[in-house]
A and B are shown apart, each in its own frame.
Chain A
Amino acid sequence: MFERLGNWIREGQIWGSVFRHGVPRDRRTRAMAVLSNVFLHLHPVAVRKSGIRLSFTWCMGGITFFLFLVEIVTGVLLMFYYRPTVEYAYFDIQGLRAHVTLGLLRELHRWGAHAMIISIWLHMLRVFLTGSYKPPREFNWAVGVILLVLTMLLSFTGYLLPWDQLAMWAITVGSNMARATPVVGYEGPGAACIQIGGVPLVHAGDDARFGLLAGTFVGPNALLRFYVLHCVFIPCVVTVLLAVHFWRIRKDGGISGPL
């Protein structure tokens, strides 16, 4: 009964228009299933048997990517409830907790972010310990390091958005570092050398930290700036680099293994 219904669906025009191949039951159709799917074709058709063992990869790269998707989905949903202004931000988060049905969004988003940081570190550890950064994968390792930095920046910019004491002071501590950037931070070495006629050009109102926060302290401008970086700019860059990262895995010979 169900089998006949299944066959009827799979033989119909709608199913056939979506999936251009037969049911993946033999070698050819299984290869087609991967080849003709835009998402699955991130993978090659066949992979090394030892390469996909969990004890080899720990699935850490995949977990990181999956957590990135979780962050996008929960993040977009959170954007429906959140306004990045000093007067609303905190109370929107509070309201989210109190009034929204299935108000687990923020928990999923926050714990997913922490988990993503951990999984990306462990992914790097795995790649290092298996020597998978060695030729021909040097460039992809570099892309991975940039992705790791961007992941931490994503988490850092998101940390401010709840606009509670924890958020604001953590970002204050973190962004104070930018003050000490050599040459372009006003408390950094070399900044005093940049002056015209005794008037310093690098001061609290135009240095690296000011550029980051759009102010001399973590205020409304910083909140907006971090919101845009967190929701638009960094995710876009990460998405592009992820495409490069995945593409290069395939181009560099797939999952690493003994040569």
Chain B
Amino acid sequence: MTQFLASGSGMDGIKHIINVLCEPHWFLILSCVALAVFMVGYRTFTKPPIAAALAGVSTLFFIASCLDPNFFSIVSKGDNVPIVMMMVTLAFVLWIAFRQAAINDERMEKGEPLLEAGADDKVLVWPDLVYIELICLVLLTAFLVVWAIFLRAPLEQPADPNVAPNPAKAPWYFLGLQEMLVYFDPWLAGVVLPGLIVVGLIAVPYLDKNPRGNGYYTFKQRPFAIGTFMFGFGILWIVLIIFGTFLRGPNWNFFGPYEFWDHNKPAALLNVEFHDLFWIQMLGRPLPTEDVAFIPAYIIREIAGIAVLGVYFIAGPIILRAVFFRKLYVQMGFIRFSVMAMLFLVMMLMPIKMALRWTLNLHYIVGITEWFLNV
């Protein structure tokens, strides 16, 4: 074993395996599996010894990874340091939250009072809360000053509209959206979907009619709400930011965490349009190019894709209601359920489109390029 680790080729082998596992499809599948396992076994995984062991292993893994020059160069880039900090903080607060949820859920099963119980148990703001705030303020100031002393804010060459950097990346908190550009056109990835994220977030309290779990940590009482939020925030936002920052290099090609950012890496395969699959491969006919009566040719060309999307958004809610959410539907009523199902299906469009790209190299489901209306 030690010989294996000591030999350069063994280490390279491990790095190669990790590089491959970090390819978008593996990374996304693995993180979904990890999230699901964590959700199912949250009572076990949040036990302090197990959580500490997990934290220790991840820390060791991170430190060992930093010995790799390619990994270190991308992690230590000024604007990427906050992302590393965010991942650490996120893991820690998730532990805090789900640990308390586990304790609360166990107590409720036994009929014991919650961690947050004791509504009449009031303390004075001065001094109890004011002191907490003051200590937070002092510690945070110290932390910021130390951070500012040891890490300089990045300043590159003066702006030059004639020299485009490769890759040109948006600020890190928007990189999830930029990663979505791989799978969707800008009108969806950059405008409509972000808009729907905001609308969907605002709609949450009006859609969630579950009266339980108000004001305390629990998972058992609201698995769907928390599961969906964790999927949307943890996978579709944070994991995509990790893709965009750490794993996307020149030409927006994918690069493993230990891989050199080679500008000459061959680009991805050519993509296939859904209308080609439908007309040419399935029906064995050329693409329709002539209008029929008042229906333009491009509508006929895209008829299959439009039908697929129509079925997805019309049959989707009905199936969701019949199969998964019978009780929820009664609780929510028709309008709330329809809005929730639509938002949910739009959210799921992202992983579905990713899966289609990875398996079929699918470019557009509906590709009305004439109108810039591509899905």
Interface residues of A (CB under 8 A from B): 24, 27, 30-31, 33-34, 40, 43-52, 54-56, 58-60, 62-63, 66-67, 70, 86, 90, 93-94, 97, 104, 106-112, 114-115, 117-118, 121-122, 124-126, 128-135, 137-138, 141-142, 145-146, 148-149, 152, 155-156, 159, 162-170, 172-174, 176-182, 185, 187-192, 217-219, 256-259
Task: Please report the C-alpha to C-alpha distance between residue A174 and residue B146 in the assembled complex, in whole angstroms.
Answer: 31
CB distance from A220 to the nearest CB of B (A): 11
Task: Please report the C-alpha to C-alpha distance between residue A60 and residue B185 in the assembled complex, in whole angstroms.
Answer: 35
Q: B66 an interface residue at 8 Å Cβ cutoff?
A: no
Contact B122 A111 (CB under 8 A): no
With A59-B136, A118-B86, A258-B119 as known contacts, state yes or no: A43 contacts B155, CB within 8 Å: no
CB distance from B126 to the nearest CB of A (A): 5
Contact A111 B133 (CB under 8 A): no
* Stretch in B162-170, B290-298, B348-356 with 4+ CB within 8 Å of A: B162-170
- Of the candidates A54, A56, A155, A256, the one having the most CB atoms from chain B within 10 angstroms of its own CB is A56
Contact A180 B116 (CB under 8 A): no
CB distance from B51 to the nearest CB of A (A): 14
Choose one: A126, A164, A169, A258; the contact of B168 (CB below 8 Å): A169
Task: Please report the C-alpha to C-alpha distance between residue A21 and residue B122 in the assembled complex, in whole angstroms.
Answer: 22
Q: Which residue on A lies nearest to B120, using beta carbons?
A: A48
Contact B145 A104 (CB under 8 A): yes
Task: Please report the C-alpha to C-alpha distance between residue A136 and residue B198 in the assembled complex, in whole angstroms.
Answer: 20
Those of B109-140 within 8 Å (CB) of chain A: 114-119, 121-130, 132-133, 136-137, 140
Task: Please report the C-alpha to C-alpha distance between residue A2 and residue B120 in the assembled complex, in whole angstroms.
Answer: 39
Choose one: B169, B201, B373; the contact of A189 (CB below 8 Å): B373
Choose one: B119, B155, B198, B202; the contact of A164 (CB below 8 Å): B155
Q: B101 an interface residue at 8 Å Cβ cutoff?
A: yes
Residues of chain B lying within 8 A (CB to CB) of residue A117 = 82, 173
Residues of chain A lying within 8 A (CB to CB) of residue B101 = 129
With A132-B214, A152-B173, A218-B161 as known contacts, state yes or no: A115 contacts B144, CB within 8 Å: yes
Task: Please report the C-alpha to C-alpha distance between residue A241 and residue B141 in the assembled complex, in whole angstroms.
Answer: 25
CB distance from A207 to the nearest CB of B (A): 12
CB distance from B107 to the nearest CB of A (A): 11
Task: Please report the C-alpha to C-alpha distance between residue A101 and residue B361 in the assembled complex, in whole angstroms.
Answer: 56
Residues of chain A lying within 8 A (CB to CB) of residue B215 = 130-132, 134, 256-259
CB distance from A40 to the nearest CB of B (A): 7
Contact B125 A188 (CB under 8 A): no
Task: Please report the C-alpha to C-alpha distance between residue A67 and residue B205 in the assembled complex, in whole angstroms.
Answer: 27
Contact B208 A134 (CB under 8 A): yes
**Can you offer 28 A-B residue contacts whose CB atoms are under 8 A?**
A27-B124, A48-B116, A50-B121, A51-B116, A62-B133, A97-B155, A104-B149, A115-B85, A121-B86, A125-B90, A129-B101, A132-B214, A141-B202, A152-B174, A164-B156, A166-B165, A167-B159, A169-B164, A169-B169, A177-B190, A177-B191, A178-B191, A179-B186, A189-B373, A190-B373, A218-B161, A257-B119, A259-B214
